[in-house]
Amino acid sequence: MDAMGKFVARSPPAVQSPLSLPRPPFAALYESGHNKPWQAKRHADLAPAIKLEPNEEGTLGKAIRSGRVQYISADLRDKAQVLQAFQGAEVVFHMAAPDSSINNFQLHWSVNVQGTKNVIEACVEQQVKRLIYTSSASVVFDGVHGIFNGDEYLPYPSKHNDFYSTTKAEGEGLVIKANGVNGLLTCSIRPSSIFGPGDKLLVPSLVSSARAGKSKFIIGDGNNMYDFTYVENVAHAHICAERALASKGTVAEKASGQAYFVTNMEPIKFWEFVSLILEGLGYDRPRIKIPALLIMPFAHLVEWTYKLLAPYGMKVPQLTPSRIRLLSRSRTFNCSKAKDRLGYTPNISLQEGLERTIESYLHLRAEPKYKRDGQSKAYLFLGSGRVADTLLWKNKKQTMATALVLATFFYSFVASGYTIITEISKLFIALAIFLYVHANLPKNILGYTIEKFPLSAFHCSEEMSRRGVILVVSSWNSAVSVLKSICRGDDLILFLKVVVILLITSLLGAISLKNLFLAGLLIMFVTFYIYEKEEEAIDCIVSRATAFGYKLKYDVEKIFCSSS
């Protein structure tokens, strides 16, 4: 009885292939019209029962239900289980891999090295004829130097980017070395950046970042080139490898004992690829570039924090040094060797692969963007007039003119370093000169009408005077009322509010007029603009903060009431 086994280790929880090639070699094998009359096929996995993804319910689902494929629960780290699973097998596709984002040496070594040793020894003892190993293009990546059109002559680096790559390279070396032992023919497939339906790392992490507002950033200059590989092309490469090894004569001899880079053969800028996926799911493409060197210290801090808190349930962070290096370096590979010796060429183009991938993740697409009904709160708060148009950049010429006037004022009066009396005097001198010149200008200059200031503009009416006095008296009475309450000692919350306000005032008083002026300009021309653009998100944050503040206030009052 002929049989084929494939391994994707899934447990313990960390041992799960994130970029899964979930089970496509089987489906692709049935659909490709393979020329060998396979009688039975086996799928070995660690889970007690197989759970198919929606995209696997077709050919593979029917094959399992009809009995053409037998599912076996086995742990490749247990040699006895591997031996039992390989009984009668002719071909083994070894695809086990832990989650590459977890930089844990023991985890990766147990699967990629010790598990691979078990697979090789089981193949030899059970007289398996062919072993195809799923490696990674990262086995030649050191995380420092970019790779441009790299081929199989590239050596393993002295130090890899992470433990996943280190152990993958060691496992690959074991597979290549085992070629010819007891008639076993082996080869290694090195796919680069697998993507497609069933991916549990790339697309979900991109969507998670987008929903958290972190997908706006580009790590590096954004020009690093990448080779991606659609998941069905990876499956096709495995089939090509198996066919080449099964051939007689020089074809099998040239194909065996070798490693092969496998890509879509369509290099693309990494961040353009990411943008296409995000835009396809309704999210904004990244635009803000951050130098990798600038963010690397934070990545080291995050990784260090994860090492401390991982035992307590902290999730694997996305911002790690190895991830930063992956996102900011070029990685393109030459597939000529796979084409010549295995007959591999991609079946699915990059564009079609992207379309299929996006289609399979429509459940992760962005919610329809919030559409504001009428004017924004910021526009209404600023009076819906010229001030609002200026500070919200709706009239850019007017905004730039105002900013220029304020900058001139700043350098002429604020930044000069004179005393307040001198500054006020200079300001009134400038105002007097302006008013006098303006009054003597003709009513029309080159077709432009010069509007004169009406004398009433500087007149303070009786009503305005009365309102001013009432405001001053009312403010004084309010302050006196607060002081009386503090003297009685019957309102702790009011006392805390007064202390906080005075502390903030004292801090502001320590700030120089120059810095205060600059901060004011920033607030005026940036804060309102940002609020108008992100009104819904900011309102949500403020609402949560307010709710937290009320809860904190309630808890404090409860504590003091219980103590009294």
Interval 331-367: pLDDT, tens: 999 999 999 999 999 999 999 999 999 999 988 898 7
- What is the C-alpha to C-alpha distance for residues 224 and 328, in angstroms, rounded to an integer? 6
Instruction: Give the angle 518-522-524 at the CA atoms, nearest 5°.
Output: 115
For the chain, what is the domain count?
Answer: 1
Q: Are 335 and 263 in contact (CB under 8 A)?
A: yes
Q: Considering only CA atoms, which of 174, 165, 54 is closest in space to residue 113?
A: 174
pLDDT of residue 271: 95
Structural domain contains residue 499: no
CATH number where 72 lies? 3.40.50.720
Taking the CA atoms of 526, 532, 537 and 539 in sequence, report the sign of the dihedral they define: positive
345 dihedral zone (left: phi>0; alpha: psi -120 to 50; beta): beta
Type and span of the H or E element at 270: helix 270-280
Q: Active-site residues: which are they? A: 168
pLDDT at 193: 93
Which uninterrupted H or E stretch holds 93?
A: strand 91-94
CB contact set of 192 (below 8 Å; sequence gap of 6+): 136, 137, 226, 227, 228, 229, 261, 262, 263, 331, 333
Query: 152: domain range?
Result: 4-364
Where do runs of H (alpha helix) occur along 49-115?
59-66, 79-85, 105-108
Place of tokens 């399979």: 360
Contact 324, 299 (CB under 8 A): yes
What is the enclosing helix (H) or strand (E) of 326?
helix 321-328
User: Is 487 a member of any domain?
Assistant: no
Q: What are phi and psi for residue 146, nearest 5 degrees?
A: -70, 160
pLDDT for position 56: 61
Identify whether 96 is part of a domain.
yes
Alpha carbons 184 and 90: distance in angstroms, whole number: 10
Q: Provide the pLDDT for residue 21.
A: 36
**149 in any annotated domain:** yes
Model pTM score? 0.64
165, 166, 162, 160: which is closest to 142 by C-alpha? 160
For residue 288, is it within any domain?
yes
The two three-digit tokens of residue 210, written as one number: 């987008």
Spell out where 215-369 has E strands. Answer: 217-219, 225-226, 229-230, 258-262, 268-269, 288-290, 331-333
Give domain status of residue 350, yes or no.
yes
Q: Could you tell me if residue 49 is inside a domain?
A: yes
Whether residue 358 lies inside any domain: the answer is yes
Task: With a cut of 70, list the residues of the chain below it in pLDDT.
Answer: 1-61, 63-64, 66-68, 369-374, 413-414, 416-420, 423, 447, 456-458, 508-513, 557, 560-564
Burial of 368 (0-12, 13-18, 19+ CB in 10 A): exposed
